[in-house]
Amino acid sequence: MATMINELAINGGPKAKTTPSIPMYPGGLEIGEEERQQLNEVIDRKYLFRYYGPEDYPSKVREFEEKFAARMGAKNCLAVTNCTSALISALVACGVGPGDEVIVNGYTFFASCASIVAAKAIPVICEINESMTMDPDDLEQKITPQTKAVICVHMRGAPCDMDRIVAICKKHNLKLIEDVAQACGGSYKGKALGTFGDVGCFSFQYPKIITAGEGGACITDDDLLYDRLMGYHDTAACWRPDRFGGERYDGELFCGVNYRMSELTGAVMLAQLGKLDRLVSAMREHKNQIKKQISGLKGITFRKLNDEEGDTAICLMFMLDDASKVTPFVDALQAEGVGAAGVFNKGIPDWHIYSHWKHIIEKKTPTTEGCPYSCPHYKGDAPSRYSENMCPKTNEILSRTVHLDIPSQLTAEDCDMIALGIRKVAEALL
């Protein structure tokens, strides 16, 4: 008897998707002649460090900063070594330190939380909602007299509810830092992500939309914050007009670190920035093509999007009605040739989910004193509530979620086959 076309591949039927999988490196897979030309200029000029070198040439890092700020609609941009250093610099620039609490999503890469501890403050973990981003209702409930700032993470390429988050931060006089590591090129109601808060922080690590392998940036419209960002990221003070001069204003000079971006990284980012809009446009087109073909399927609820037009479309996320259905659903999709994964499994460590942040939950520190948790300046009790189940809504939502990457290099045929695979599995299992 002939195998039916709709028989699941996991049961011996034909695969829905027969083309090879494409790794999720949107900008990385586009590395080519443009990057080579920019790098060759740096090598030919022998100008590897922005603050000193041959004086006949402009800095590639500075050129990237100017163009990135213009693309995002921000007044100032500071290029740094990675997004973690961007977040730490932003927290320090905003005056966060001992005794302060900073609220952050419970679904984000661990670095978003680790940066708070690095700034000597206390992380407070906030629930997400069906948008997979910060739940504004829980955010407001988590605010205490010790709260100094909020890090809202535009997780998996899509914007947070910025209207509500901005309003909450203004109401409570809190600094707002946007983590745009996974959403470079995204927007909310026509305004670029990273420009709503006091500082926006970006990542150019290899899996990100545009990349130099590693790298990051801060953007801000506040000139004082920009000065403080510059000062902290460059403890040698090369950035000052007179590096050995006295303070131009109170609080200008303080000890910092070295998070300076190299000219080689800046050169690659100049080339990558020119590809950003094309990459995001391609991912949006692919995602729309897939979603149109699977809309209305019984048992599937798409991720809520706070602004669908502002989504960078790096992935497709949808929820099933029961967590127990995720593993068989994902196994069947993978058998169809469709790259898919569940998001949360309590037994599988994933540093994108707070339940696995044992460094935080167990209050691990590099020294026995236990700072910042034992800091005498801290008067709150947030660490006493740390546990694997402190954000049950987050765990419940993620445990029901299926995730598919949407590489910019997909073809229309790939998208049709992915949609076919999802339809086959949904109709058979849900």
Looking up residue 163, the CATH number of its domain turns out to be 3.40.640.10
Question: Does 306 reside within a domain?
Answer: no
Q: Please give the residue range of the domain that contains residue 38.
A: 33-275
* pLDDT score recorded for residue 4: 55
- In this structure, is residue 307 part of a structural domain? no
Q: Please give the sequence-ordered ranges of beta strands (E in DSSP) within 320-370, or none if there are none.
A: 341-342
Neighbours of 252 (CB within 10 A): 15
Q: Is residue 17 part of a domain?
A: no
pLDDT of residue 6: 80
Annotated catalytic residue, options 208, 275, 287, 424 = 208
**pLDDT reported for residue 2:** 40
Whether 208 is catalytic is yes
346 occurs within a structural domain: no
Whether 326 is covered by a domain: the verdict is no
Q: How far is CA 344 from the centre of its chain?
A: 18
- CA 248, 50, 59, 208 torsion: positive or negative? negative
Query: Is 145 a domain residue?
Result: yes
Given a contact cutoff of 8 angstroms between Cβ atoms, the answer to whether 164 and 190 are in contact is no
Each of the 430 residues of the chain gets a pLDDT tens digit; together they read 344 568 999 999 999 999 999 999 999 999 999 999 999 999 999 999 988 877 788 999 999 999 999 999 999 999 999 999 999 999 999 999 999 999 999 999 999 999 999 999 999 999 999 999 999 999 999 999 999 999 999 999 999 999 999 999 999 999 999 999 999 999 999 999 999 999 999 999 999 999 999 999 999 999 999 999 999 999 988 888 888 888 898 888 999 999 999 999 999 999 999 999 999 999 999 999 999 999 999 999 999 999 999 999 999 999 999 999 999 999 999 999 999 999 998 778 899 999 999 999 999 999 999 999 999 999 999 999 999 999 999 999 999 999 999 999 999 999 999 999 999 999 999 9
Query: Quick check: is 378 in a domain?
Result: no
Kindly state whether residue 362 falls inside one of the protein's structural domains.
no
371 phi and psi, to 5 degrees? -70, 145
For the chain, the domain total comes to 1
Nearest C-alpha neighbor of 272 from the set 6, 11, 28, 21: 28
pTM of the full structure = 0.96
